[in-house]
């Protein structure tokens, strides 16, 4: 679950990097965007699936401390509960609506 939380953050960054480096024409940009958005959708679907499997808990994960000095501490902290999951479902809805993905997944 922790790995999925991190991958949900990193995949858009990967998308930005790939398009910046390799997006020389429309076809490449469209292809890269297609795969990154679907990888993101898959990561979110797995995350929500595991979260549901564990009984919909309010899940917290501290990745690392970004900065600490004296009493001040800034951790990179993730939190998933039903509120966050609702917003994620909006993201996910499109993956299932996009009929082109299904033959690709089950090919």
Partner 1 sequence: MFSVIVRYCRHYLHREYGYKRFFITIFGFALGLNIVVLSGSIDMLFAGWEIIGVSSFLLIAFYRHRVQPVRNALRAYTVYRFCDIGLLLGAWMSHLLFHESDHFSQLAVLFKDNSTSPASLAALWLMSVLIFTAACGKSAQFPFCFWLPRAMEGPTPSSAIFYGALSVHLGVFLLLRTTPIWSYHLVTQASLFSIGLLTVVIASMAEKTQSNIKGQVAYASITQVGLMFMELALGLENLVLLHFLGNAFLRCYQLLVSPSIVAHMLRIEGAIDTDNSLALPAMRKRLPVSIRDTLPGVLQNTLYVFALQEGNLELIVRAVFWSPLKRFGAGFNALTTRYRLSLVMLLILPWPLLVQLGWASSAIYAIPAVVIMVLASLSAFSQKQFLWTWHAVALSSLSAAFAVWLLQPGVLVDVLLFLSGIVPSWLIGYWLLLRLPNPENYRDAPFAYRALAEIRPVRAFGLLVSFLGLAGFPITPAFIGEDLLLYHASHQFAWIAGLIAVSFVLNGIAIARVYLRVCMGKPLEISGIRSQAIG
What is the binding site for partner 1 (CB under 8 A)? 5, 8-9, 12-13, 15-16, 19-20, 23, 26, 29-30, 33-34, 36-38, 40-41, 58, 60-62, 66-67, 69-80, 82-84, 86-95, 97-98, 100-101
Identity of the residue, 46 or 98, whose beta carbon is nearer to partner 1 in the bound complex: 98
Residue nearer to partner 1 on the CB measure, 17 or 53? 17
Distance CA 42, CA 101 (A): 11
Residue pair 78/60 in contact (Cβ under 8 Å)? The answer is yes
Min dist. Cβ of residue 59 to partner 1 (A) = 9
Nearest to 80 by CA among 103, 104, 107, 46: 46
Query: Between residues 9 and 54, which has the closer beta carbon with respect to partner 1?
Result: 9
User: Least distance from C-beta 3 to partner 1, angstroms?
Assistant: 13
- Residue 86 vs 107, nearer CB to partner 1: 86
Percent of the chain as helix, strand, coil, to the nearest 5: 65, 20, 15
Q: How many CB atoms lie within 10 A of CB 17?
A: 13
């Amino acid at each position: 679950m922790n790995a999925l939380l991190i991958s949900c953050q990193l995949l858009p960054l990967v998308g930005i990097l790939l398009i910046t480096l390799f997006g020389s024409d429309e076809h490449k940009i469209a292809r890269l965007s297609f795969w990154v958005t679907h990888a993101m959708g898959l990561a979110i679907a797995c995350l929500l699936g595991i979260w549901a499997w564990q009984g919909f808990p309010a899940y917290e994960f501290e990745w690392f401390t970004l900065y600490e000095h004296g009493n001040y501490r800034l951790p990179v902290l993730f939190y998933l509960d039903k509120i966050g999951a609702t917003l994620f479902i909006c993201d996910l809805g499109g993956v299932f609506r996009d009929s082109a993905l299904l033959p690709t997944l089950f090919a």
